[in-house]
């Protein structure tokens, strides 16, 4: 730390991203990326000519991308904000709307706490129930920003939209942020509520179901006043927040919707198969609507299992929080990758027997 850092940041604990190893080729099941490439039309859009155009700034209004998203999801471009990954819109939301504090589950996306810290926002962490579900009643009438990932991470579990509606109704003067990063893998979206609740902000990403994690593209839906607030923050920090190539690939991605629906269905099929296999090996597996499974076994400590898999070339995500340290979060890869995982788990769990 240099002596120039503002005092308020000196004790900040930054977010720790999942490992992105460069030392060897792993079966990478640790950061919820898609195992599939983007649609062929997206790959083909990346021409030398497009790279040459990088001498020009990108469109700060992201007009074409917003129009396409509006068409696909049946909203107006004024209901949409686009961002450099959904992390950026989450960052802006905490910056803009966290004035009265923020409430979110104790076990959820780790970045919520980091953003709260970054902006000096009082964070109320509400315990998940013993079965890791969210009791929506604990989020009603909070009078502060409420943030819920639906499906939640790293559990993969969902909360019904009818319960989110109750949270919205009972917090009319606070923003309710629903993070739908994983909604395309079987979750229920609260998009239909956008027209009825002016306190709802939903965030989404191209990183998971749209096979574009490295492109860094996220978006949000809300009523136009909330979107205007986010735009104000964006134009006060980085107007060209999305590079030209990513904007182009994003547009092509929206045009290739059927390819991605097929891949999401494939992931769901592989998820069901993997869950069954893990249960067959004695794992407890939480019911997941996301592109990952959260699972634990009594046969081995969670951290040890993570290390043994890594030694054998498979990366999963382990968290040290005592409440979940027995678990590992396993991204759903291809069927072939999951078959290797299951074979390796058998070896690891039974090698000493
Ligand atoms: N929300 C949740 C719940 C996540 O797990 C992630 C992925 N780390 C994100 C948001 C951010 O993803 P991205 O910035 O790649 O859109």
User: Token pair of 89, please?
Assistant: 């819109």
CA angle 98, 320, 302 (to 5 degrees): 140
Sign of the alpha-carbon dihedral angle for 196, 198, 200, 206:
positive
Q: How far apart are CA 160 and CA 156, in angstroms?
A: 13
CA of 151 to the centre of ligand 1 (A): 12
Which ligand 1 atom lies nearest to the CA of residue 31?
8
Residues near 353 by Cβ (< 8 Å), separated by ≥ 6? none
Which ligand 1 atom lies nearest to the CA of residue 108?
3
Helix (H) or strand (E) holding 285: strand 284-285
- Pick from 198, 206, 254, 250: which is nearest to 228 by CA? 198
Q: List, for the chain, all residue ranges whose pLDDT scores fall below the cut of 50.
A: 353
Predicted structure pTM score: 0.97
Instruction: Give me the residue label for tokens 């503002």.
Output: 6
Ligand 1 contacts CB of residue 205 (under 6 A): yes
- What pLDDT score was predicted for residue 144? 97
CA of 198 to the centre of ligand 1 (A): 24
- What pLDDT score was predicted for residue 21? 83
Ligand 1 contacts CB of residue 86 (under 6 A): yes
Decide: 233 and 92 in contact? Cβ < 8 Å: yes
Q: How far apart are CA 76 and CA 68, in angstroms?
A: 10
Q: How far apart are CA 244 and CA 53, in angstroms?
A: 8
Ligand 1 pocket test, pick from 33, 104, 111 with the greatest ligand atom count within 8 Å of Cβ, gives: 111
Ligand 1 contacts CB of residue 283 (under 6 A): no
- What pLDDT score was predicted for residue 352? 60
Ligand 1 contacts CB of residue 152 (under 6 A): no
DSSP secondary structure letter of residue 294:
E
φ and ψ at 179, to 5 degrees? -90, 105
Ligand 1 contacts CB of residue 213 (under 6 A): yes
Counted residue by residue, the chain has a size of: 353
């Amino acid at each position: 730390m240099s002596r120039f850092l503002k005092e308020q940041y000196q004790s900040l604990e930054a977010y720790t991203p999942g490992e992105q190893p460069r030392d060897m080729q792993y079966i990478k099941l640790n950061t919820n990326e898609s195992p599939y490439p983007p649609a062929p039309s997206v790959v083909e859009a990346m021409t030398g000519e497009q790279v040459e155009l990088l001498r020009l700034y990108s469109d700060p209004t992201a007009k074409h991308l917003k129009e396409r998203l509006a068409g696909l999801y049946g909203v107006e471009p004024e209901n949409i904000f686009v961002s450099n990954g959904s992390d950026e819109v989450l960052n802006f939301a905490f910056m803009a709307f966290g004035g009265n504090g923020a409430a979110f589950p104790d076990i959820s996306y780790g970045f919520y706490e980091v953003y709260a810290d970054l902006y000096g926002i009082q964070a109320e962490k509400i315990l998940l129930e013993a079965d890791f579900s969210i009791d929506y009643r604990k989020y009603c009438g909070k009078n502060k920003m409420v943030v819920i990932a639906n499906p939640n991470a790293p559990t993969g579990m969902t909360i019904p939209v009818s319960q989110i509606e109750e949270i919205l109704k009972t917090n009319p003067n606070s923003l309710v942020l629903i993070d739908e990063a994983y909604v395309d893998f079987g979750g229920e979206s609260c998009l239909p509520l956008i027209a009825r609740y002016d306190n709802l902000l939903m965030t989404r990403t191209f990183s998971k179901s749209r096979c574009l994690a490295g492109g860094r593209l996220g978006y949000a839906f809300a009523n136009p006043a909330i979107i205007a607030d986010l735009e104000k923050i964006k134009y006060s920090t980085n107007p060209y927040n999305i590079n030209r190539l990513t904007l182009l690939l994003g547009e092509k991605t929206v045009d290739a919707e059927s390819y991605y629906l097929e891949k999401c269905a494939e992931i769901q099929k592989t998820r069901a198969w993997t869950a069954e296999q893990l249960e067959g090996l004695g794992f407890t597996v939480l019911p997941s609507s996301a592109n990952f499974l959260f699972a634990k076994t009594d046969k081995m400590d969670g951290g040890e299992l993570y290390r043994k898999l890594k030694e054998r070339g498979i990366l999963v995500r382990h968290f040290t929080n005592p409440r979940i340290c027995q678990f590992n979060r396993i991204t759903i890869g291809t069927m072939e990758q999951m078959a290797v995982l299951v074979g390796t788990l058998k070896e690891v769990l039974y090698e000493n027997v």
